[in-house]
Amino acid sequence: MRSQTARHATGNATRECSLTGSWGVANVMSCLSEEIALVQEEAKCLEDAEERIQCAVNISVQLAEASLAVSTKRGPNTSIYPLDLQTINGIVSRVLNVFEDERREVSSEALVDVFNNSLREANQAGWTQLQTAGSGSQALLKNAERFGRILATSTVNGNGTLVLSRQNIVVAAEVVKGRVSNFSFPAQPDQLGNFSRDNNETVSVSIPEDSLKRLTKEAEVYLVNTIFRNIKDFLPINTSVLSNGKTESLVISTQFGALDQEDSPNDTFKDSPITFNFSFRASSDTGSKYAGVFWDFSNPVNKGGWSLEGIQVISSVTRDNVTTVVFNSTHLTSFAVLVDVAGGLEGTPKEELLALKIFSYIGCAISTVCLFITVLFYLAMG
């Protein structure tokens, strides 16, 4: 094994030599870019009770600049180090803690820049390596959801709607009172701003009137929608949902609730489910099966995983090489569409699964008997 200090970074990169004499892929898990390491050191001020608010603002700006600088240095097709991504997640979480505790206006522009830089397509390799260590892109997803909620309850409160749009993420936060009509996002395509670049890749959400009425009679209600690009390729696929699946669509996080409580009641959408509409480029695999899923942070595997619970697919139609999937959900979190390119057995009715198992057992029994007869015949002839 060969160890070498990474340029402009702390830590060492290691590379193993195989028995044939060829060098393997470099392991850079312990490498941290100088720019990110500097912000990490500066972030110690977040523990200072007197300076933590101003510190949180300053650190947000510094982290946005550092993450951009590191991304630029690494180049458009190279991931930043996995430890960079993990450290960025940790610093953002600490900054959000300050804004939550102090109920202060969040540094919205700077933090959305941090998310945007972390969501670069080139960072897939870094997120994949980080995922093996047990803490990866799901931490970014959780931070983004927290950011949206803080944005609505502190920054937007009383000021209508705020939309922050970047190439890889768009966050729309709105506070309403007395609304009884249906709510849809995006209301117009231009709401997505810089994010909207592919007409074949879209997502929208509609909240029914009945659900809105429950919370808007007296209370002010926050509505937050966050759409992610590329994170679909960063989050792990748990095979318990689809045997050979991949995330096909954009990922949208939708949050809705009264300002005086953290989340909407669990039964808010039980009788009036929310509708999600996803469009994306059609899969080239024949026999593909689509499933609406949400990200379940309580899943112990990888500290989260896709789940089918509470989701009903209404339709999936492919036309002009574009697939549109519509599904209802009785709860809110982050949603996407998975495609099982192999048409696996997950989701197959229990009766069909039982029949397949019986046929499998019969087939195995017949094969065993035939093998036994063949052996006897061979011995008899010998």
Q: Is residue 141 part of a domain?
A: no
Residue 360 has pLDDT above 90, yes or no: no
Give the integer Cα–Cα distance in Å for 336 and 349: 23
The better pLDDT of the pair 371, 97 is held by 97
- Residue 106 falls inside a structural domain: yes
Length of the chain counted residue by residue: 382
Q: What range defines the domain where residue 47 resides?
A: 1-135
pLDDT of the residue at 348: 44
Written in H, E and C, the secondary structure of 9-51 is EECEEEECECCCCCECCCECCCCEEHHHHHHHHHHHHHHCCCC
Reply yes or no on whether the pLDDT at 374 is more than 60: yes
Q: Is residue 142 part of a domain?
A: no
35 with 163, same domain?
no
Q: Look at residues 222, 300, 218 and name the one whose alpha carbon lies nearest to residue 261.
A: 222
Q: What is the pLDDT, as a whole number, of residue 3?
A: 45
**Hey, what are 235's tokens?**
């989050």
Average pLDDT, integer, range 332-350:
65
The last residue of one of the domains, among 135, 170, 190, is: 135
Q: Is cis: bond before 208, omega within 30 of 0? A: no
Q: Are 306 and 166 found together in one domain?
A: yes
Q: Are 163 and 283 found together in one domain?
A: yes
pLDDT, average across residues 9-23: 55
Residues 319 and 380 in one domain: no
Cα separation, 139 vs 93, in Å, equals: 9
Residues 309 and 380 in one domain: no
Mean pLDDT value of segment 357-364: 60
CB-based contact 56:108 (threshold 8 Å)? no
Do 360 and 304 share a structural domain? no
Q: How confident is the model at residue 252 (pLDDT cuts 50, 70, 90)?
A: very high
272/327 same-domain check: yes
Task: Indicate if 276 and 239 belong to the same structural domain.
Answer: yes
Indicate the average pLDDT of the chain: 79
Greatest mean pLDDT among 27-31, 280-284, 321-325 lies in 321-325
Residue 238 scores a pLDDT above 70:
no
Percent with pLDDT over 70 in the chain: 69
Is 140 part of a structural domain of the chain?
Answer: no
What DSSP string describes 198-228? -TTSEEEEEE-HHHHHHHHSSSEEEEEEEEE
| Same domain assignment for residues 34 and 177 | no
Task: Output the domain CATH number for residue 211.
Answer: 2.60.220.50
**Distance separating alpha carbons of residues 260 and 340, to the nearest angstrom:** 41
Question: What pLDDT score does 202 carry?
Answer: 87
Q: Is 240 a residue whose pLDDT tops 60?
A: yes
Domain contains 318: yes
Q: Which of 33, 229, 225, 39 is nearest to 119 (CA)?
A: 229
Residue 119 sits in the same domain as residue 196: no
Q: Over the stretch 200-209, which tens digit does the pLDDT of each residue have?
A: 788 889 888 7
Q: How confident is the model at residue 373 (pLDDT cuts 50, 70, 90)?
A: confident
* Number of domains comprising the chain: 3
* 253-276 pLDDT per residue, tens: 998 877 666 555 555 677 788 899
If asked whether residues 243 and 333 sit together in one domain, one would say yes
Residue 221 is assigned to a structural domain of this protein:
yes
Q: Is the pLDDT of residue 112 over 90?
A: yes
For residue 30, what pLDDT is reported?
Answer: 79
pLDDT digits (tens, 9 = 90+) for 173-216: 888 776 556 678 887 767 777 676 666 788 889 888 777 776 65
Confidence label for 39 from pLDDT (cuts 50, 70 and 90): very high
More confident of the two residues 382 and 318: 318
Task: State percent of the chain over pLDDT 90.
Answer: 30
Distance CA 63, CA 88 (A): 8
Q: Is 294 left (phi over 0), alpha (psi -120 to 50) or beta?
A: beta
DSSP element (H, E) containing 370: helix 350-381
Instruction: Name the domain boundary from 105, 135, 165.
Output: 135
Q: Which residue has the tokens 């759409």?
A: 227
Q: What is the pLDDT of residue 146?
A: 92
Residues 332 and 358 in one domain: no
Per-residue pLDDT at 14 exceeds 70: no
Asked whether residue 143 is assigned to any structural domain, the reply reads no
Domain membership flag for residue 98:
yes
Which is higher by pLDDT, 192 or 113? Answer: 113
- Mean pLDDT score, 68-91: 92
CATH number of domain containing 41 = 1.25.40.610
